[in-house]
Amino acid sequence: MKFVDEVTIFVEAGWGGDGCLSFLRAKYVPKGGPNGGPGGDGGDVVLVGDPHMGTLLDLRFTPQQKAERGTHGMGKQMAGARGADKRIAVPLGTVIHDAETGEPLGEIVAAGGEFVVAKGGRGGRGNMSFATATNRAPRRVEPGQPGEARTLKLVLKLMADVGLVGFPNAGKSTFVSAVSRARPKIADYPFTTLVPNLGVARATSGRSFVVADLPGLIEGAADGHGLGHQFLRHIERCGVLLFLLDIAEERGGDPLADYKTLEKELASYSPELIAKPRLVALNKLDLNPPSALVTRLKRAFARRKIPFFTASAATHQGLQTIIDASADFLPATRLLAPSVLAD
């Protein structure tokens, strides 16, 4: 399934029904009076949070969403039926913007949460509503009011608990596949991951949480370089950031310098990101990194008071320790049952 995290749609609520012009005509009632009923209100357009959705793909192919209009009023004082609401399922974490002004209108963060994006028009009054002591036979009615219509931009920010941050080929996809039943694409070349992948990891205590494998960042990602800038917003909702570093010998780099670059990119994108709790893991331990390098990194992150781990996603060495530590950083309210999100 294609991952779509931005979509523009046009929504239109239903018109209200017209009021009815009617007079009672019955045997033995020569002056029955007005009995035209009001029209029904138009239906609303409502966004509803669906925990089983992970993309806005469905709306990409149905960009116009309209609710039903109310039916017209009828004689015998009968009101028209209200138009049915148009209920649109969206994934949790969807942020709603007015496409014309860019104004944020709201967001959907809870399963079953609802947000009315277009209000239906009010039904018009029938002539029975205008009868008075001095005007007993009014011929006045009201037409139904139009429903709200607007163009919306929906932006998805994934509702993950732990976000993996790292350079391309740091082993993030392998890490997610090792700690969950998610099966992202894995290959030995950069930018294998083109869309975020979610998996549910389980700590030794039995608690579970959602891990997000995000496309690799590069220097300048906050300014639009590479692929990572397209998905930086998905990190905003993560409770914990897990920096995954590799030994970097093959490209002549330095894991500590890589960490500083990643930290700088997150800070450039949003100061709130860099304030989140974080852990650091040196991946690819199976490649036997120099002990001097590991010692230097331990000391460097100890000075920063950042938990540091060594692991090998390929051989699963040290992964459970990292998962347990990540769970400890998350508040109990963020820990999810595995059934909440399909692996």
What pLDDT sits at residue 249?
A: 53
Burial class (CB in 10 A: 0-12, 13-18, 19+), 178: buried
Does residue 80 sit within a domain?
yes
Same domain, 239 and 118: no
Q: Residue type for 79, please? A: A
Residue 196 falls inside a structural domain: yes
For residue 133, the enclosing domain spans: 6-156
Give the domain CATH number at 273.
Answer: 3.40.50.300
Q: Which residue type is seen at 247? A: I
pLDDT at 67: 97
Last residue of a domain, one of 130, 156, 182: 156
Give yes or no: residues 316 and 279 share one domain. Answer: yes
Q: How far apart are CA 71 and CA 146, in angstroms?
A: 13
**Phi, psi dihedral angles at 267 (to 5 degrees):** -65, -35
Q: Are residues 54 and 69 in the same domain?
A: yes
The pLDDT score that the predictor gives to residue 117 is 96
Q: 115 pairs with which residues across the strands?
A: 47
Indicate whether 26 and 98 sit together in one domain. Answer: yes
Torsion-angle region of residue 237: left (phi > 0), alpha (psi -120 to 50) or beta? alpha
Task: Give how many domains the chain has, as a whole number.
Answer: 2
Residue 90 placed within a domain? yes
Q: Is residue 36 within 8 Å of residue 127, measured between CB atoms?
A: yes
- Whether residue 1 is contained in a domain is answered as no
Domain boundary among 156, 174, 193: 156
* Nearest in space to 235 (alpha carbons), one of 219, 209, 212, 261: 212
CA quadruple 279, 283, 285, 291: dihedral positive or negative?
negative
SS3 content of the chain, % helix, strand, coil (to 5): 25, 25, 55
Q: What's the CATH code of the domain at 113?
A: 2.70.210.12
Cβ-in-10-Å burial (0-12, 13-18, 19+) of 273 comes to buried
Using CA atoms, how far apart are residues 214 and 119, in angstroms rounded to an integer? 37
CA 59/CA 87 separation, integer angstroms: 12
Distance CA 155, CA 152 (A): 10
End-to-end CA distance of the chain: 14
Kindly state whether residues 148 and 281 are assigned to the same domain.
no
Specify whether 135 is located in the same domain as 196: no
Same domain, 213 and 313: yes
pLDDT at 21: 95
Tell me: do 60 and 37 sit in the same domain: yes
Check if the beta carbon of residue 67 is closer than 8 Å to that of residue 85. Answer: yes
Per-residue exposure over 202-235, b if at least 16 CB sit within 10 Å of its own CB, e if not: bbeeebbbbbbbbbbbbeebbeeebbbbbbbbbb
Of 101, 121, 156, the position where a domain reaches its end is 156
Q: Quote the pTM value.
A: 0.73
Which residues does 10 contact at the CB level (< 8 Å), separation at least 6?
63, 64, 65, 149, 150, 151, 152
Rounded to whole angstroms, what are the CA distances from 137 to 18, 30, 283?
Answer: 19, 13, 85
In order along its 343 residues, the chain shows pLDDT tens digits of 466 888 999 999 999 999 999 999 888 887 788 999 999 999 999 999 998 887 888 899 999 999 999 999 999 999 999 999 999 999 888 999 999 999 999 999 888 999 999 999 999 999 999 999 899 899 999 999 999 999 999 998 877 788 888 887 778 888 888 888 756 544 444 444 456 777 788 888 888 888 888 776 655 444 444 445 566 777 787 888 999 998 865 555 688 888 988 888 888 888 888 888 899 999 888 888 888 888 999 999 999 999 999 999 889 999 999 999 988 888 754 544 433 333 3
Same-domain check for residues 172 and 317: yes
Does some domain include residue 281? yes
Using CA atoms, how far residue 42 sits from 13, 69, 72, 135, 184, in Å, is: 7, 4, 11, 30, 45
Alpha carbon dihedral 126, 129, 133, 139, in 10-degree steps, equals -20
274 and 235 within one domain: yes
Whether 234 is covered by a domain: the verdict is: yes
The pLDDT of residue 273 is: 82
176 plus 322 within the same structural domain: yes
- Tokens 């930290």 found at: 263
Dihedral of alpha carbons 270, 275, 276, 277, sign: positive
**Shared domain check, 225 and 207:** yes
Instruction: Kindly give, in sequence order, each residue whose CB lies less than 8 Å from that of residue 103, ignoring residues fewer than 6 positions away.
Output: 97
